[in-house]
Chain A
Amino acid sequence: MQTTTADTPVPATRYGVLERLLRIVWIGPAIAALVIYIFFVIVGGASGFFSVPGTAGWLNTAAELGIIALPIGLLMIAGEFDLSTGSVVGAAAIIVALGTGFYGLPIELTMSMALAMGVAVGCFNAFLVNATRLPSFIVTLASNFILAGTSLGLSRLISGSSNVSLKDAGWAEPIFGSKWMFFNVSVLWYLVAIVLAAWVLKQTRFGNWIFATGGNVDAARRAGVPVARVKLILFIWTAVSAAFVGIMSAVMYNQGNAAQGQGYVFQTAIAAVIGGVLLQGGFGSVIGIVLGTFIYGIVSLGLFYTGWPTDWLATFIGGLLVIAVLTNNFVRELALNRGKKKP
């Protein structure tokens, strides 16, 4: 092997099929999803994992998770975290339940309030991150706690309970609460979110800026990318998506709970990482994130169908996370080092 001579014209290297497959950004999560799916079809198929209700079960889970995980993933590609989504889900649910269920306000008003709360939280997070340059990990962790306490306190103060029922959500009922066979309408909403995220990330200027912001902030800034605005929009997107899921769950389950939603805080980040998003930013794909949410849904529902104690779910997910991070690192190096000749 000789040393790299960079300025000789390099003919486009021909890659074998296997090598080319390995260079697809989301190949890791795709293989993982397939393997895990087949595993649970074999082990849990007899008890109905492969049936329509079984499929609907994991898809429903993936959908509610994914609507938040998508913008979380984009935010991570831009190099930031958002741990405040859990409280935003709870706060949105309790706003709708209290407003419409308790006070009898029109559903469109309380929904707008919940979404506005999402915008406010997103702005707050982005403002703190942009202005103080503190790590978003800490900033959003703080806002998660602040908001969680506030929702719980206000809910108790107003209704005497952290759990408020919402009997009739009017026109919002079919939009957020309907089912087809066993599939929740949230699956459709997820589809909309996927198309939106894929379009933004792959096709628009803004998508390019997301990658640049996470890949090298200084370079992005010098090239004229409005880095602060990129982060602001992504923080708002994340929080509004979380509010949307909160509204949806309040309407679907006819109740809002101020303490609900905390599971999303880590589940969304896990789904994004399993989906191949680079924790340090600059790398990831929408298809990968979607596959990450599928994997999460398949594992959490699949375990249930195996008849094994579901107590072990977290262990399973944790193990998966480690494997995912390791394989993703490997795949990513391959994808990024295309064109580089081995020294």
Chain B
Amino acid sequence: MGNAAAAPVLEARNIARHFGAVTALADASLQLYPREVVGLVGDNGAGKSTLLKILSGIVAPSAGEIVIDGRPVVLKRAQDAMDAGIETVYQDLALVDTMSAYQNVYLGREELSANPLKRFFNLVDDRRMRERAREVLDALQVKIPSINVSVKGMSGGQRQCLAIARALLWGRRIVILDEPTAALGVRETGQVLEVIRDLRKHDVSVIIVSHNMQQLMSVADRITVMRLGRSIATRTVKDTEVNEIVGLITGAIPGDSPEARAAEVAA
């Protein structure tokens, strides 16, 4: 349930991005409200991934503005986005195969021991990290065989959930997922979607790209449709249906903004 009364936690305003002569994004805008899941859809090459990369600080926009909690921000590096509370779960998941689940969840942010002497010697608090990791995974109802075992043997769904759990544990308020279920089986997809739905309870807002409409309708509050580098329409899931979204994607149904229509006529 998006909280439309509140101010958006994240806003992308009229973002454009050119790669040489290629216009990946012409004019894309997006709003994300607290505890909301926004689905981002569009045909191949519509510019979804490019928009997400801009929001995670990996690609710089050619024009436009990103606003977080009402303040304009410039995301020059991935770290800037993370500092701003945005966690991106990458397609390749960015897990270290040889390390255990809890180590992966805590990687780069290992907790030091509370004991001052141990702290002085830089000792990490393994037990606490295990406990916290287990808590978070339980809270998200992520099922993995053991948090002490290397993630190498885990399934795609389990790995995806771990990556999401990391975002939660690190106190990120915005989680970005680019086709998180693309490589997963039916049951695993169900598990991941369940975890995404649950993120709301933890005060986290989500942007998710997917080509699976049924799936998106089941997890998202609102859906923003992109076509040819533009965001052409946004619909509340409750008040729309798959056919309308598909029509918007393909162009069978015209978009909302006059520019979008103009672009269509031109194309």
Please, how many angstroms separate the alpha-carbon atoms of A215 and B104 in the complex?
Answer: 11
Report B-chain residues with C-beta under 8 Å of the C-beta of A211: 96, 98-99, 103
Known: A203-B123, A204-B123, A212-B99. A10 touches B145 (CB 8 A): yes
What is the CA–CA distance of A208 and B108 in the complex, to the nearest angstrom? 8
Do A216 and B150 touch (CB < 8 A)?
A: no
Residues of B close to A283: CB separation below 8 A = 98
Q: Roughly how many angstroms separate A211 CA and B152 CA in the complex, as a whole number? A: 14
Nearest CB in chain B to that of A10: its residue: B145
A219 in contact (CB, < 8 A):
yes
Q: Which of B40-48, B184-192, B200-208, B236-244 contacts A (4 or more CB under 8 A)?
A: B184-192
Residues on the A chain within 8 Å of B98, using CB: 211, 214-216, 278, 282-283, 336
A1-43, CB < 8 A from B: 4-10, 12-13
Min Cβ gap A255→B in Å is: 38
- List which B17-49 residues lie within 8 A (CB) of chain A: none
Nearest neighbor of B113 in chain A, beta-carbon distance = A203
| Contact assessment for B149 and A206 in the assembled complex, using a CB-CB cutoff below 8 Å | no
Judge whether A6 and B158 touch: CB under 8 Å: yes
A199 to B92, CA, bound (A): 32
In the complex, A223→B169 CA distance in Å? 13
Output the nearest chain A residue to B122 by Cβ-Cβ distance.
A204
Tell me the dominant secondary structure on chain B's binding face.
Answer: loop
Q: Is the CB of A8 within 8 A of B143?
A: yes
What's the interface size class on B, roughly? 35 or more
- Tell yes or no: A338 within 8 A of B by CB: yes
Residues of A within 8 Å of B93, CB to CB, are 219
In whole angstroms, what is the CA distance A214 to B79 when docked?
A: 21
The CA-CA distance from A335 to B79 in the complex, in Å, is: 33
CA distance A251 to B152 in the complex (A): 48
Whether B191 contacts A212 by the Cβ 8 Å rule is: no
A225 within 8 Å of B by Cβ? yes
- From 209 to 229 in chain A, residues with beta carbon under 8 angstroms from any chain B beta carbon are 209, 211-212, 214-216, 218-220, 222-225
Contact residue among A4, A12, A220 (Cβ-Cβ distance under 8 Å from B107)? A220
Chain B residues, Cβ within 8 Å of A12: 145-146
Assembled-state Cα–Cα distance A85/B40 (Å): 54
Task: List the A side residues contacting B97 at CB < 8 Å.
Answer: 215-216, 282, 336
C-beta contact mask, A281-295 vs B, less than 8 Å → 1, else 0?
A: 011000000000000
Would you call B153 and A203 a contact (CB within 8 A)? no
List of B residues within 8 angstroms of A133 by Cβ:
none
Asked if A215 and B99 make an inter-chain contact with CB atoms under 8 angstroms apart, the answer reads yes
Give the contacting residue for B187; candidates A5, A223, A278; CB below 8 A.
Answer: A5
Q: Specify which chain A residues have a CB less than 8 angstroms from the CB of B154 in the assembled complex.
A: 6, 339-340
B103 adjacent to A208 (CB under 8 Å):
yes
Contact of A208 among B94, B124, B149, B191 (CB under 8 A): B124
Contacting pair A223 B109 (CB below 8 A): yes
**Minimum Cβ distance to chain A for residue B81 (Å):** 11
**Residues in B whose Cβ lies below 8 Å from that of A212:** 96, 99, 103, 107-108
Given contacts A6-B187, A211-B98, contact A336 B108 (CB under 8 A): no
Q: Give chain A residues whose Cβ lies under 8 Å from the Cβ of B190.
A: 7
User: A150 contacts the other chain (Cβ, under 8 Å)?
Assistant: no
Contact of A10 with B122 at beta-carbon distance under 8 Å, contacts A215-B98, A223-B94 already known: no
Residues from chain A with Cβ under 8 Å of B112 in the complex: 205
- Tell whether A337 is near chain B: CB-to-CB under 8 Å: yes
Contact of A340 with B152 in the complex, beta carbons under 8 Å: yes
> In the complex, A215→B94 CA distance in Å?
11
B185 to chain A, nearest CB (A): 8
Q: Which 8 A-B pairs have the closest CB atoms?
A: A340-B153, A6-B155, A223-B108, A224-B108, A339-B149, A215-B96, A339-B145, A282-B98
Residue pairs across A and B with Cβ atoms less than 8 A apart, 19 shown, are: A5-B187, A6-B188, A6-B191, A9-B143, A10-B143, A10-B144, A10-B145, A204-B124, A208-B106, A215-B96, A215-B97, A216-B95, A219-B95, A220-B96, A220-B107, A223-B108, A224-B108, A336-B152, A339-B150
Instruction: Mark B residues whose CB is within 8 Å of A.
Output: 78-79, 82, 90, 92-99, 103, 106-110, 112, 121-124, 143-146, 149-150, 152-155, 157-158, 187-188, 190-191
Known contacts A204-B121, A212-B107, A216-B96; 16 further A-B pairs (Cβ under 8 A)? A6-B143, A7-B143, A7-B155, A7-B190, A10-B144, A204-B123, A205-B122, A208-B99, A211-B99, A215-B96, A215-B98, A215-B99, A224-B108, A224-B109, A336-B153, A340-B154
